[in-house]
Amino acid sequence: MDFLTLSSLLILGLAVGLIISLLGVSGSVFVVPILLLFYSTSIYSAIGTSLFVDMVGATIVAISFFRKEKVDLRATLLLIITALVGSQIGVLVAVNTGEASLSNLVCLIFIGIGIIILFRSFKQRKTPEKTGSQKVIFQSERQKEIVISSIGLFIGLMSGIFGAGGGMMIIFVLLVIFQYPPHTAVGTATAIMAIIALSGVIGYSIQGYINFEYGLIISIGAVISGSVGSVFSNRLNETTLTFAMGLIFILVGISTLFLLTFL
């Protein structure tokens, strides 16, 4: 590997670490498009490598929370199991989808997620939400299990198909359904993300679609900048972060779709 490739991958990792630590989103929003466009990587390898980076980053963060006793996986076993099943299904769906179709679909999903997040940020400006005070009331334990299983399958599918860990949705579920305290919700969510990403990594590596060399270099950069970004994350306004997150998803999705179509 030449110096230019090595240094550019490290810079990508630094950007990914900042995005994860400041905005709380999967590194896939940067890793997948950039590997796809600038490193002659297939969409399958880009997604698999993105999952590897997410796995490393989430594991390191989860270990930090575990040491502070802010990780509790006991109540989330059903969510984890269904997410693992969904992840493997997602991998099979992705590798059996045409490369051009999957690339376009990933871009459209990024744009769609960005639009949803932007609407959420506008809503927060008008009526600030107190997520931790919300509570979902189920009519029966069976209904709760069905909802949790469905959410787990969906999170796993998204991870397997698009290389995204589903961190925001996991945190929301832990806060609203499981009624976890905020710090325990974040710590547990990162642990679940690491487990789901590991499942996806296994699936894509079996298919031969992970560039471990690229993934390791990006991960090193992400770990360095992530530790720095986490220091400043609590000082930034949540509404501003949400708006920035949505804007990044939309811009990355549109620009990648444009470049794939016309270059």
- What's the pLDDT score for residue 131? 47
Q: Is 90 exceeded by the pLDDT of residue 49?
A: yes
Domain range summary for the chain, segments of one domain joined by +: 3-262
Residue 233 scores a pLDDT above 50: yes
66 vs 232, residue with greater confidence:
66
Q: What is the pLDDT of residue 204?
A: 92
- Contact criterion met (CB below 8 Å) for 155 and 195: no
Q: What's the CA gap between 167 and 58, in Å, rounded?
A: 10
50-59, 127-136, 161-170, 240-249: which range is least confident on average? 127-136
Q: DSSP code of 133?
A: G
Q: Residue 70: which of 167, 174, 176 has the closest Cα? A: 174
What does the alpha-carbon distance between residue 53 and residue 48 come to, in Å, rounded to a whole number? 9
Q: Quote the CA–CA distance of 68 and 66 in Å, as a whole number.
A: 5
Q: Which range, 125-139, 170-184, 216-230, has the best average confidence (pLDDT)? A: 216-230
CB 172 within 8 A of CB 99: no
Q: Which pLDDT band holds residue 25 (cuts at 50, 70, 90)?
A: low
Assign 132 a pLDDT band (cuts: 50, 70, 90): very low
What distances in angstroms separate CA 56 from CA 168, 176, 243, one per listed residue?
18, 27, 27
Q: Can you spell out the DSSP letters for 136-167?
A: PPPSSHHHHHHHHHHHHHHHHHHHHHH----H
What pLDDT was estimated at residue 124?
62
Residue 16's pLDDT band, with cuts at 50, 70 and 90, is confident
pLDDT of residue 84: 92
State the pLDDT confidence band at 251, using cuts at 50, 70 and 90.
confident
The tens digit of pLDDT for each residue in 135-169 reads 667 788 888 889 889 989 988 988 888 776 666 67
Rounded Cα gap, residues 73 and 132, in angstroms = 19
- Model pLDDT for residues 53-94, shown as the tens digit of each residue: 988 888 887 887 788 888 888 778 888 999 999 999 999 998
Q: Is the pLDDT of residue 96 over 80?
A: yes
At 49, which amino acid appears? T
The set of residues, in sequence order, having a beta carbon less than 8 Å from that of 199 and lying 6+ positions away, is: 83, 84, 87, 88, 156, 159, 160
Tens of pLDDT, residues 178-216: 888 877 877 888 888 889 889 999 999 999 999 999 999
- Most distant pair of Cα atoms in the chain: their distance: 60
pLDDT in tens, 99-114: 888 888 888 877 887 7
- Cβ neighbors of 87 (< 8 A, separation 6 or more) are 156, 157, 159, 160, 196, 199, 200, 203
The whole-number average pLDDT for the span 1-24 is 82
Cα-to-chain-centroid distance, residue 138: 28
* pTM, rounded to two decimals: 0.79
